[in-house]
């Protein structure tokens, strides 16, 4: 018997019982569909986390005040200066002083707008470190920092809240009670992996922030980029040495700062979501196996129902292998059809999640191939026993079966 004949034969018996075939492959449809959707959602969010981390800069190193009830924040602009001068592994460094503030703008338009946001006092290097881009106008320069100029660069959210569709560049606004001039608008970054709006910021020169907005000597953090990802460890060690020296810490004394590596945080984040993806796929995989059992069940019924047919086929010369292949190909085709339907359904659901529900879903071709192969494997595995049962029938018993 040729493969073409085999497929025709199986397809015919599948389409003869359309309703039953549909119900039988429903298990596979749901199984394949949920595997793909689960993996798509998992990989989609993983991809999103990775993208955002890349957007933050994978070379990022942060120095922060120690967590816990140790002595207060002691990070100063002098620390930043020392790092900039002495470090060999750091390509960009910026002190960061941030806080909540209310901004008021739109005075020129006659109608005032209030907005609560976060100000970031930073140095120009901060753009490089966090991979921000300026969409219009320009970022402030080192001289603005030195002069404590009252200039601000707005995130798109703040720009929209205060100025609507107007171009904010050159406009004036108040940050707290201080008047500032807008010199630029940042390109939008969207929401972060944690879901907060990264564009809801106002950036001002670091010294301006320290002296006019925070009114404290110390900064919240120092952020910097290592020259290369490979040098992260060396860079961290070096920063630690430089800061201990700057803070005149004795040998063995507890540091009054923490040096943290952003890529470590990223790794844990993506490892967690990877584990989650695998777990979800495994759960969905179980439903595929249940679908396979459904196929086995129906095939066993079918073999019993068609015992007479099997006997007839044997009496005219079908070998055991012919019978085996006939039933096996039926279950494989059934599960493959279910697999294809499941894939199409999954693509539709993934697209709907992505477009309509805003859940990132990424269907990769590999996943489709694997689940199609898995569906076929389920067909073979669960179809084999019933097919064997059919092939092992003794011709006269099968012929006499009522």
Partner 1 sequence: MAIIEMSGIKRHYQVGEVLVRAIRGLELSVESGEFVSVMGPSGSGKSTLMNILGCLDKPTEGSYVLDGIDTRAAGPDEFADIRNQKIGFVFQGFNLLARTSALENVELPLFYRREGGPGRGGRGRKGEQLERARKALEEVGLGGRLDHKPSQLSGGQQQRVAIARAMVADPAFILADEPTGNLDSEMTLEVMSLFQELNERGKTIVMVTHEPEVAAYTKRVVTMRDGAIVSDRPVAERRRAAEDLRAWQAEHASLSGVKDEARAS
Q: How far is the CB of 336 from partner 1 (least distance, A)?
A: 23
Q: Give the contacts of 14 (CB within 8 A, at least 6 positions apart).
A: 21, 330, 333, 334, 337
What is the distance between the alpha carbons of residues 176 and 150, in angstroms, rounded to a whole number?
A: 12
Q: Is the CB of 127 or the CB of 328 nearer to partner 1?
A: 328
Rg (CA), the chain: 33
CB atoms within 10 A of CB 293: 12
Q: Which is nearer to partner 1, 141 or 399 (CB)?
A: 399
Comparing CB distances to partner 1, the nearer of 313 and 389 is: 313
- CA distances 82 to 111, 141, 246, Å, are 46, 20, 8
Integer Cα distance of 384 and 378 in angstroms: 10
Which residue has tokens 């084999």?
A: 384
Q: Shortest approach of partner 1 to residue 387 CB, angstroms?
A: 16
- Shortest distance (Å) from residue 20 CB to partner 1: 14
Nearer to partner 1, 362 or 399 (CB): 399
Rounded least distance, CB 24 to partner 1, Å: 19
Shortest CB 310 distance to partner 1, Å: 11
Q: Given the complex with partner 1, which of 353 and 399 has the nearer CB atom? A: 399
Which CB sits closer to partner 1, 98 or 306? Answer: 306
Burial class (CB in 10 A: 0-12, 13-18, 19+), 42: buried
d(CA 281, CA 70): 45
Comparing CB distances to partner 1, the nearer of 6 and 377 is: 6
Minimum separation from the CB atom of position 327 to partner 1 (A): 15
HSE toward the beta carbon, residue 326, CA cutoff 13 A? 21
Counting Cα atoms < 13 Å in the Cβ hemisphere of 201 gives 23
- Minimum CB separation of residue 301 from partner 1 in Å reads 17
Q: What is the DSSP string of 300-314?
A: HHHHHHTHHHHHHHH
Binding residues for partner 1, rule: CB under 8 A, are: 1-2, 5, 16, 308-309, 311-322, 395-396, 399
Residue 32, judged by CB atoms within 10 A of its CB (0-12, 13-18, 19+), counts as buried
DSSP 3-state assignment of 350? helix
Nearer to partner 1, 377 or 399 (CB): 399
CB of 37 to partner 1, least distance (A): 38
């Amino acid at each position: 018997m040729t493969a073409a004949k085999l497929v025709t034969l199986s397809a015919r018996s599948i389409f003869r019982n359309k309703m039953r075939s549909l119900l039988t492959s429903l298990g596979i449809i749901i199984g394949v569909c949920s595997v793909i959707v689960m993996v798509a959602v998992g990989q989609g969010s993983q991809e999103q986390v990775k993208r955002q981390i890349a957007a933050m800069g994978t070379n990022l190193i942060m120095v922060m005040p120690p967590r816990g009830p140790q002595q207060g924040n002691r990070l100063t602009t002098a620390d930043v200066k020392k790092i900039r001068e002495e470090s060999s592994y750091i390509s960009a460094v910026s002190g960061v002083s941030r806080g909540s503030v209310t901004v008021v703008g739109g005075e020129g338009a006659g109608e005032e707008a209030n907005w609560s946001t976060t100000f970031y006092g930073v140095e120009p290097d901060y753009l490089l470190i966090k991979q921000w881009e300026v969409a219009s106008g320009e970022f402030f320069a080192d001289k603005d920092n030195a002069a404590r100029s009252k200039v601000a660069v707005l995130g798109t959210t703040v720009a929209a809240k205060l100025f609507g569709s107007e171009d904010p560049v050159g406009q004036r606004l108040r940050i707290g009670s201080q008047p500032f001039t807008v010199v630029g608008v940042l390109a939008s970054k969207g929401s972060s992996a944690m879901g907060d709006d990264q564009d809801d910021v106002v950036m001002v020169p670091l010294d301006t922030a320290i002296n006019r907005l925070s009114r404290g000597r110390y900064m919240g953090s120092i952020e910097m980029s290592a020259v290369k990802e490979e040098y992260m460890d060396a860079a961290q060690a070096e920063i630690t040495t430089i800061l201990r020296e700057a803070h005149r810490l004795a040998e063995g004394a507890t540091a009054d700062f923490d040096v943290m590596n952003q890529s470590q945080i990223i790794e844990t984040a993506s490892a967690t979501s990877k584990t989650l993806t695998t777990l979800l796929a495994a759960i969905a995989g179980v439903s595929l196996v249940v679908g396979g059992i459904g196929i086995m069940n129906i095939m066993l019924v079918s073999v019993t129902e068609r015992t007479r047919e099997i006997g007839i086929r044997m009496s005219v010369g079908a070998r055991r292998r012919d019978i085996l292949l006939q039933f096996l190909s039926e279950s494989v085709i059934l599960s493959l059809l279910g697999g294809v339907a499941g894939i199409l359904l999954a693509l539709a659901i993934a697209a709907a999640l992505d477009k309509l529900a805003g859940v990132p879903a990424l269907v990769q071709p590999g996943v489709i191939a694997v689940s199609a192969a898995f569906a076929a494997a389920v067909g073979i595995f669960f179809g084999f026993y019933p097919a064997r049962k059919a092939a092992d029938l003794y011709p006269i018993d099968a012929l006499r079966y009522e």
